[in-house]
Amino acid sequence: MKIRIKFRKYGSMKFIGHLDIMRYFQKAIRRAEISIAYSEGFSPHQIMSFAAPLGVGLMSNGEYLDIVCREPLTMNGTQMKEAMNQVMVEGVEIVSVRALPEDAGNAMASVAAARYTVCFREGYEPDFDWKSQLEKFYQKLTIPVIKQTKKSTKELDLKPSIYELFVREENGQAAIEMLVDASSAGNIKPGLVLEAFYKENGADGLEEAALLITREDTYGDRGTGETHEFVPLEDFGEEF
């Protein structure tokens, strides 16, 4: 049985990298006595798949991993959520546990977009009127940038990969909210969007420590062709 788990990552756990999070969940699932299935062969491992890895230093309210459980299950979704939360450390919280249909794609292959909230650290706000300029920036027909990959650099147009971009209030202060392409083909990071925004306004380069970034959720796309219908990955499953 395929299970999709949604979790939050916050506090000091935002400094823990993706590989360590994977190892952490392997141990936590054993401690919670979840009947996870193992691969075959000389070196069996738990069958699990994470969605888009989260960068070090970012918090998230919508991370996902898929696991395969052996049947018959000894817990329902609510019991599984409670059992895992009992063994979670501070900084990781299980939000939901859903059963996936047999034909559902895995979490990583299903990612199409991600929503982020971006705040400026105190003392790092831009020296231009960024609130009024953000809408003008988003209305541009093209947003050319240079994207650094592992092997090279390439020029691309960010505009088609930014689905929403606006200013909203976050804990009494203005924040930037964006919905961007997070698929394997696009994978746009908030920092890249903000760097282009700074450049457009003639500002100095974005300082590394300037941003507080939270991934609010990760989405799949139920749309067809050029029409997007983004839904949270948890909505592809159902309670059990």
Please state, in angstroms and rounded to a whole number, the distance separating the CA atoms of residues 10 and 192: 22
Cis status, amide bond into 160, omega within 30 of 0 = no
Q: Please indicate whether residue 206 or residue 21 has the higher confidence score (pLDDT).
A: 21
Note the pTM of the prediction, 2 decimals. Answer: 0.93
Q: What is the pLDDT of residues 93-147, one digit of tens each?
A: 999 999 999 889 889 999 999 999 999 998 899 989 999 999 999 999 999 998 8
DSSP 26-41: HHHHHHTT--B-B--S
- Could you tell me how many helices (H) and strands (E) the chain has, helices first? 5, 11
Residue whose structure tokens are 């300082």: 207
What are the structure tokens assigned to 37, written together? 């299935």
Q: How far is CA 156 from CA 26, 87, 188, in A?
A: 38, 44, 11
pLDDT at 203 (0 to 100): 87
DSSP string computed for 133-186: HHHHHHT-S--EEEEE-SS-EEEEE-GGGEEEEEEEEETTEEEEEEEEE-STTT
pLDDT at 70: 92
Question: Does 159 have pLDDT greater than 80?
Answer: yes
Vertex 43 angle, CA 37 and 47, to 5°: 25
Specify the pLDDT at position 171.
Answer: 74
**pLDDT the model gives residue 207:** 85
pLDDT value for 154:
84
Give the range with max mean pLDDT: 3-12, 125-134, 147-156, 171-180. Answer: 3-12
Write the CB contacts of 51 (distance below 8 Å, at least 6 apart in sequence): 63, 64, 65, 107, 108, 110, 111, 218, 233
- What CA dihedral angle connects 23, 25, 30 and 36, to 10 degrees? -110
Q: Residue 150: is its pLDDT beyond 90? A: no
> Which tens digits make up the pLDDT trace of 22-53?
999 999 999 999 999 999 988 899 999 999 99
Q: According to the model, what pLDDT value does residue 200 have?
A: 93
Q: Could you report the per-residue pLDDT of 185-219, keeping only the tens digit for each?
A: 889 999 999 999 999 999 877 887 899 999 999 99
Q: Across the chain, what does the average pLDDT equal?
A: 93
For the ranges 16-25, 166-175, 228-237, which has the lowest average pLDDT? 166-175
Q: Which CATH class is domain 2-109?
A: alpha beta
Instruction: Give just the sign of the alpha carbon dihedral 231, 50, 170, 147.
Output: negative
pLDDT at 228: 93
Confidence (pLDDT) at 138: 97
Q: What values do phi and psi take at 185, rounded to 5?
A: -80, -30
